[in-house]
Copies of this chain bind each other. A is one copy, B any other.
Amino acid sequence: MTTTAIANQQFISSAQILEHWQGHRNLTRRVIDAFPEKELFEFSIGGMRSFAKLAVELVSIAGPALKGIVDHQVEAFSEEAFKPKTKEELLAKWDSETEVINHYFNQISEERFQETFNLFGQYEFPVYQNILYFIDNEVHHRGQGYTYLRALGIEPPFFWERF
């Protein structure tokens, strides 16, 4: 096989990346849950956002972004629609978005992953890059959440435990 043939071969299927993402989301849910109520909404380091605020960003991206991709609808990004006051409320939204993500993700075809889409009218990239960005952005912010937990003297969940 030539190098070019190898370069174009499949790395993962769409079912595999979805399972991978939902595994990450399970872990992020545990990180949210590991925070005491007050610190979830108030604690921060170096002027960064609270972990509740970071989690609201994450639920404001995933479902709405996939819906936008599937419906070919360009709507501006907004975190205004959801303002949780408690951990319970945040976790309930997290759980309901799990189904929203599965619902829309499963409607994206192989061809579509390679097409460019102007996400939120702002991020014009191939759909697969947008989806990888959602996952990376979650892992990135969760890494910040781990640091908050350590600073609070709380042992974070195991990074490798996803299901």
Residue A25, interface by CB 8 Å: no
Per-position binary interface string of chain A over residues 117-139, scored 1 when its CB falls under 8 Å from any chain B CB and 0 otherwise: 00000000000110111001101
Q: How many residues of A contact B (CB 8 A)?
A: 49
Do B20 and A132 touch (CB < 8 A)?
Answer: yes
Please pick, from B12, B139, B148, the residue contacting A12 in the complex, using a CB distance under 8 A. B12
Do A14 and B6 touch (CB < 8 A)?
Answer: yes
Do A9 and B136 touch (CB < 8 A)?
Answer: no
Main secondary structure of the interface of A (DSSP, over half): helix
A114-163 interface with B by 8 A CB criterion = 128-129, 131-133, 136-137, 139-144, 146-153, 159-160
10 tightest Cβ-Cβ pairs between the two chains A and B = A143-B143, A46-B150, A7-B15, A9-B110, A147-B147, A46-B151, A140-B143, A139-B139, A10-B10, A11-B17
Which residues of A are in contact with B by a Cβ distance under 8 Å?
1, 3, 6-17, 20, 24, 45-48, 106-110, 113, 128-129, 131-133, 136-137, 139-144, 146-153, 159-160
